[in-house]
Structure 1
């Protein structure tokens, strides 16, 4: 009986029992894992009687709501939804009222029994019936409110009614077939003659100007989400504190308006000691996050003091702009600023305050009286971090303006991480939305033979629905600010996520499903409102039909050259055969560079880090790599993409500049609308950005570029490559062919 109840709950919560693994083989979820995931959702799974009672309570809650808390519909002449009422009320007249986002009111009536019966359930002797009914109304896209009431205006139920376009936004020139290209970068890795040891928004401006001048159409960014200013070694952009706010380490301190007015800030920066300190931060090949953040915060404290004295106290135009920013940021910005202020405060007291679970108990939730008192007592400390978000947003906006002024057709594209870390602001401020006894990751696949546990607590799909998807709406909207495109990392998260019970290894997880149709529709609405093209990173274990679903929703696929192989003979597809509605690339931040791939550096490193279960697995990977390289050569020679003097036998071919650049040009001739390339490959670098499946074993997210930006764009051969890429993309579009 326990197993029966567990399976019933798994079905109702979208916990999958079976799936197809990355190699196309059927796989079964461990039964214990399903029970542990239900326990993480709050169910007591110890005995049948307890489970039966919980299922009963759940059904009462579900059927007592006459209408779902949120209804998401594509724009149409009528809108269908299910209404649930006790059987004896199903013939009664129901009034409906829709208040649109703009405040307009549309009204009407319906009789549920005149619709189509779709469900029935008996609870405690009461028979509930569900009927599909339709409302005829001319509604604009947007977030509206639906209220159902009886003839004497007693409210029966209400719902958020979200009306959306059928597909995401695409710029007209892309629809017309334009072939765009640009680099994707980890912003922190940029070197320059002027930054403080980490790439910043001024470096981004320089990069945008240079790429635009060479014919590029965009620059893609790694996630620039808020991390932890007082715990800077937590540096993974894919394990943020908040995905709604920005990483303040990217602020160019000297570019802030108040810096030029702050004698104290300038005195620090111009001192011999500080200059020596900055040079020491700039020279290593790895980013010193602690050193950089400490240097920036020290000066930013003085800049903020000037802002308070010269702007806030005088209620200047700039002060009012800041206050408007704070007002628009609402609770979310207050939560972020308070979190950062508290963490700094606790570290100053000697507490290892890595995240909210390590804080004193009375501060472990944003809503506590202790937190409210701290915000009131230390308003200036909280305002400081709100000010830094204001500055970061301002500098990102200025960078995007440079892209527009430089004639880039797409400009910046941003990257949305799949989740937040367990000690994050988002979890601290909305614990009901996240499950703390589970984390998301990936089952064993090509990139991670042991599977991956990303340490990110999953969002509870049902809680998101009860909140009318507001967390997702805010998330999409905030990440579409100041950019022309948004890449969604692991876009499969809109359909399903691999949940791993706390304390278990990655292979002991299960897929949990999300309401993909609703989420894609909301994504489409925000995409149009923000004029933002959407790219979905659809790699890994992908179920049948999802590619078509994403394409129909206007989401651009993500095609990586090394994965585009025939299942029949293992040959590499020509880029001309890639989907048009896609971004193509040679490699990614989770993969080796071109040189690293060819030299098998990633396999050597994986052995050193203990990523392979035994030597046989490693030798199989070496054999596969050798075969892959030979087939790449075969493909390049077969399409005339490399000259005849390069041997057709891989045993005699090293990764030279000629082969490196030829591969990039080979991709440029492809059919995908977007082409993203790596600065690392322009520089022929070897070391990877990130090694999946590792944390402290390898210095992930710290490796800088080998040359500064000024040197990179002064390199004649790089300039020739970029010019050639532009011409090849034009020909692929049919311009000048």
Structure 2
């Protein structure tokens, strides 16, 4: 339990933080007693935070006597231990812990496939069990992760689209973008645009609510996709459902939802969409599966095993008791209790319904990836892994032993947010992960990579450390907790290499020294966004393209940032002012934003990337500027170039505005044009503005236009 007394205030100094028995104990368990938010500055975590975090890790540090006892216990356990619970073997090189074993120690290995070996070298990639027997009779088993040294780099440069799937409606959507739309998008983008990938938001299962939280970054489960994304008509049993009149009525109601979004300015209503789909899918499920389909479903159930059973059981129990499992009857809060087993049996029809939906959704995801590859995409789908899960959801219920009770992850105070951030996501316990050989992490990655050509990892710095915040405390009163980054990276490289997939780490914001270098060493690409790429250690001006890193996905913007058109016009400042989000005065913020734009436009002009009227001029100055930004990205050595799909049609509205909840319609906006009119997938495919931008990107070299073209001066320049 977290302490309830007054918190010790964090100390800030330029000197190293003082060492105490408590801080020593914290460091031994991977809890940092201090951190450096910037060079020459050290912030010390409050003692109350250290005590609470250690308690969540099963270590009592509530009194000085308890701290001394815990230190003695840790020393004794470490002295008697032959091996840590998990070891990493990069490229066949045995780790130092093996070489340090006492002379005469006998080694044996049980491979992932169940084969017994009497040597620990020459092992195939996988997670094996290493057995050690010391001459003094001590024995130990450890998980041995054998991973390739690094992931291969993309073959040549590739460009692609970034889109939030729910926002991409077609004339067939049931009120929000779906997996049928995604398959259509990949087929068109690959064939007509020469795109090599399409990156989407996390498609994880959501926690149902009233209303459901629309954020794809606070899911119920990261392991299983959300059936709200299903294209109902594409389920093979759909044409054989008994009440076709009822299905037509549901489809007509869905059409009205779609038209309200596309023609009347309504927001995307996920819950209304799901109400219709759930009823239709229940009717479709009543159709008996053919022998081949039944066999495929049985294989899926066997492959997913207990994880799927747990997920479907949570979904069925949530329908009866509500979505917060901590408010369920006490016996049902334990997924392994006899009461839960009885409830599962009583609700078996609903458990099977949710299992079936998971199978159908996986099948449509696989179809979208096949569509991408059939269209010639080198990568195909890029899935997004959220940093954590909702505390009320299925994963938090089913995997309680792996989550730290009473903790939430977030970010400490920084230059952009003086109060820090609390994301409301429970963290995994590093000690429990290591003891299991990172089993839940492995299963998660394997599931996500099954239908992906690449995986984007949100807040990839979380593989190294996360900011833990005790329940009831502000983000300022937290502490960093470290993972075994070598093990986390080795599992990631192992599973991605098995899937033949790339990995992209979202490494924006405050990044601990050495993290980007370690990721690059293992072949994990970074994320570079135009507006953040400045010479922060020098004059602060925009970085010229040849100073950018190569191992990255380069983009103009993201779902959490203003679209490029809004950035150039300053509309993002006006929006934040209307919502009361500006840190300074409106005039000061306008001036800062305009100066930022002028500096970038000056660089674009000097490089000759702004087309003049005689070089096949775009329809507007704004389009010329957006095209110039993408020519600039092509001048960088970045291996992947991403186009934010709303940028291609001049959309002004961010999909998410951090710092808002009800004040702004986060995650509920359709892709729209420069006038705010929603644009369907079919209209996107015919958009001259989009095709003009794609023509720029397909030019590959980022050079300005044909003979006679000349750079325009930046807007507002003398």
**3-state SS in 1 of match to 2:511:** coil
The corresponding residue for 1:167 is 150
1:69 aligned residue: 85
In structure 2, what is the Cα distance between the partners aligned to 1:49 and 1:386? 50
**Once structures 1 and 2 are overlaid, which stretch shifts more, 545-554 or 354-363?**
354-363
Distance (whole Å) between structure 2 residues aligned to residue 272 and residue 511 of structure 1 = 50
- Of 662, 671, 677, the match for 2:637: 671
How many Å apart are 1:57 and its aligned residue?
Answer: 3.8
For residue 106 of structure 2, the aligned residue among 95, 104, 111 is 95
Give the secondary structure class of the aligned counterpart of 1:103.
coil
Q: How far apart are 1:724 and its partner, in Å?
A: 2.4
Does residue 246 in structure 1 map to residue 229 in structure 2?
no
Q: Is the 8 A contact 2:559 2:656 kept in 1?
A: yes
Query: What's the offset of the Cα at 1:95?
Result: 2.5
For the residue of structure 2 that corresponds to 1:656, the secondary structure is helix
Aligned to 1:629: 597
Q: Where do 1:709-720 residues align within 5 Å? A: 709-720=681-692
- Give how far 1:560 is off: 0.5
| TM-score calculated relative to the size of structure 2 | 0.88
* SS of 1:21 mapped into structure 2: strand
Alignment counterpart, residue 317 of structure 1, candidates 292, 300, 304? 292
Structure 1 residue 385 displacement after superposition:
0.5
C-alpha change, 1:477 and 1:22, in structure 2 (3 Å) is farther
Q: 1:140 aligns with which of 100, 124, 127?
A: 124
Q: Is the 8 A contact 1:167 1:524 kept in 2?
A: yes
Q: Are positions 1:597 and 2:549 aligned together?
A: no
- The 1:263–1:668 alpha-carbon spacing in structure 2 relative to 1, beyond 3 Å, is farther
Task: Sort the Cα spacing of 1:32 and 1:579 in 2 relative to 1 into closer, same or farther, 3 A.
Answer: same
Counterpart of 2:406 in structure 1 is 437
Answer yes or no: is 1:328 the counterpart of 2:303: yes
CA distance in 2 between partners of 1:508 and 1:157 (Å): 38
Shift of 1:60: 4.4
Aligned to 1:224: 203
Superposition deviation, residue 282 in structure 1: 4.1
Cα shift at 1:33: 2.6
Provide the residue aligned with 1:292 in structure 2.
Answer: 273
2:65 corresponds in structure 1 to 49
Listed one character per residue, the Cα deviations across residues 345-392 of structure 1 (whole Å, up to 9, x for unaligned) are: 23xxxxxx2321232222222112221111112211101001001000
2:541 counterpart residue number: 571
Local SS of the residue matching 1:640? coil
Deviation at 1:32, TM superposition (A): 3.2
- Do the aligned partners of 2:188 and 2:375 also contact (CA within 8 Å) in 1? no
- Show the counterpart of 2:36: 20
Cα distance change of structure 1 residues 358 and 661 upon mapping to structure 2, 3 Å threshold: farther
* 1:228 positional shift: 2.6
Q: Could you say which residue in structure 2 is the equivalent of 1:640?
A: 608
Q: State the partner residue of 1:7.
A: 23
Whole-angstrom CA distance in 2 between matches of 1:602 and 1:590: 12
Give me the whole-angstrom Cα distance separating, in 2, the residues matched to 1:289 and 1:83.
56
How has the CA–CA distance of structure 1 residues 497 and 266 changed in structure 2, closer, same or farther, with 3 Å as cutoff? farther
Contact 2:696–2:702 at 8 Å: present in 1 too?
Answer: no
Question: After superposition, what is the alpha-carbon deviation per residue over 1:560-604, rounded to whole angstroms, capped at 9, x for unaligned?
Answer: 100000122221113343222111001111111112223434334
Given candidates 149, 152, 157, the residue that maps to 2:140 is 157
TM-fit CA distance, 1:18: 3.1
User: Unaligned regions of 5+ residues in structure 2, if any?
Assistant: 1-17, 615-619, 673-678, 705-718
Residue 486 of structure 1 aligns to a residue whose secondary structure is strand
Deviations 1:52-77 (A, max 9, x none): 23334444444444322221111335
CA distance in 1, matches of 2:313, 2:152: 35
The 2-side partners of 1:64 and 1:265 are apart by 69
Deviation at 1:630?
1.3
Corresponding position: 1:390 with 2:365: no
Q: Is the 8 A contact 2:254 2:276 kept in 1?
A: no
Give the Cα separation in 2 of the matches to 1:164 and 1:523. Answer: 9
SS at match of 1:539: coil
* 2:314 corresponds to 1:342: no
Aligned to 2:160: 182
Partner of 1:489: 458
Q: CA deviation at 1:499?
A: 1.6
- 2:628 and 2:648 map into 1 onto residues whose CA distance is 11
Separation (CA, whole Å) in 2 of partners of 1:552 and 1:185? 29
Residues 63 and 376 from structure 1, CA distance in 2 versus in 1: closer, same or farther, beyond 3 angstroms? farther
1:693 offset after TM fit, Å?
2.9
Aligned equivalents of 1:608, 1:24: Cα separation in 2: 38
Do 1:451 and 1:693's aligned partners in 2 also have CA atoms closer than 8 Å? no
Preserved contact between residue 168 and residue 523 of structure 1 (Cα < 8 Å): no
Contact 2:35–2:43 (CA under 8 A) maintained in structure 1? yes
SS in 1 for 2:127: strand
Counterpart for residue 502 of structure 2: 533
Question: Residue 630 of structure 2 contacts residue 702 of structure 2 at CA under 8 Å; is this kept in 1?
Answer: no
Structure 1 residues not aligned, in runs of 5+: 109-134, 347-352, 647-653, 733-737
Answer whether contact 1:432 1:463 (CA < 8 A) is retained: yes
Tell me the distance in 1 between the aligned counterparts of 2:258 and 2:455.
Answer: 34
Residue 169 of structure 1 deviates from its aligned partner by: 3.5
The aligned counterpart of 1:519 is: 488
Shift of the 729–192 alpha-carbon distance from structure 1 to 2, 3 Å rule, reads: farther
1:729: how far off? 5.2
Q: Which residue of 1 aligns with 2:286?
A: 305
Change in CA separation of 1:730 and 1:408 when aligned onto 2, cut-off 3 Å = farther
Instruction: Give the alignment partner of residue 606 of structure 1, picking from 572, 576, 585.
Output: 576
- Structure-2 change in CA distance of 1:702 and 1:260 (3 Å): same
Q: Any residues of structure 2 matched to 1:191-210 within 5 Å, and which? A: 191-210=169-188
The Cα shift of 1:669 comes to 3.2
SS at 1:468's partner residue? coil
Q: Is the 8 A contact 1:665 1:725 kept in 2?
A: yes
SS in 2 for 1:81: helix
Q: Matches of 1:252 and 1:330 in 2, distance apart?
A: 25
Cα separation, partners in 2 of 1:235 and 1:58, compared to 1, 3 Å: farther
Structure-2 separation of matches of 1:45 and 1:220: 45
Checking the alignment, whether the CA contact within 8 Å between 1:179 and 1:729 is kept in structure 2 is no
Tell me the CA shift for residue 456 of structure 1.
0.6
Q: Within the alignment, does 1:370 sit opposite 2:342 as a pair? A: no
Q: Secondary structure at the match of 2:549?
A: coil
